[in-house]
Amino acid sequence: MLRVIWSLCLIGLGQMAFAGGDAARGEALTGTCVACHGTDGNSLAGSFPNIAGQNPAYLLKQLQDIQSGARSAVLMTGILDGMSQQDLEDLSAFYAGQTAGVGAADPALVSLGESIYKAGIARKQVAACTGCHAPSGDGNGLAGFPKIGGQWAEYTETQLKAFRSGDRRNDGDSKMMRLSAMDLSDEEIAAVSSYIAGLRP
């Protein structure tokens, strides 16, 4: 049975609480963020993620994980030191309220990428991405699953490979992303990452 069945819609509901932040105050805290993520959360290079318009609960969890060391992000080392929970909520609120840019897919990779995204790979027990991230890549805010549509293909590819290798492990006890990525080839990761880049909300 495909791994999409593994408590997919239940995981994270209890750990993604987001009380809400002050976006205006959050903007005032972005001084060290703009170099990588741009003034509005739309980065200028694929090595840095677009975070504009992202699910605020997901943003908050990533900031908390980076701050605690649960997620490794070398270029953010020290940046979040000393920030309070309220600071992280305010930053999340600011970036969540920004308008995400539009990405583009490589036409040569669309066919394979679309197949993986919409249907998974049954012979490898790889679940369809739509189960958590929706057909448009808009994610699931209630469950804390991130928006991924329009994300840089380079960034998505890097993260999928990190989940595959186990270098990134902050997907919880469910290991949902590690299980999804573990049997994907480099070619398959590149294709689905490119397809995701071209998705529109």
User: What is the residue whose two structure tokens read 């908050």?
Assistant: 60
| 196 touches 113 (CB < 8 A) | yes
Q: What pLDDT is stored for residue 18 in this prediction?
A: 56
**pTM summary value:** 0.90
- pLDDT band at residue 17 using 50, 70 and 90 as cut-offs: low
DSSP letter (8 states) at residue 6: S
Length in residues, the chain: 201
| CA–CA distance, 120 with 19 (Å, rounded to integer) | 34
Q: Which string of DSSP letters, residue by residue, matches 135-178?
A: TTS--BTTTTBPP-TT--HHHHHHHHHHHHHTS--TTTTTTHHH
Residue 17: exposure state from Cβ atoms within 10 A (0-12, 13-18, ≥19): exposed
Neighbours of 148 (CB within 10 A): 25
pLDDT digits (tens, 9 = 90+) for 67-113: 999 999 999 989 999 999 999 999 999 999 999 999 999 999 999 99
pLDDT digits (tens, 9 = 90+) for 110-159: 999 999 999 999 999 999 999 999 999 999 999 999 999 999 999 999 99
Which domains does the chain show, CATH number per domain? 3-10+102-197 (1.10.760.10), 23-96 (1.10.760.10)
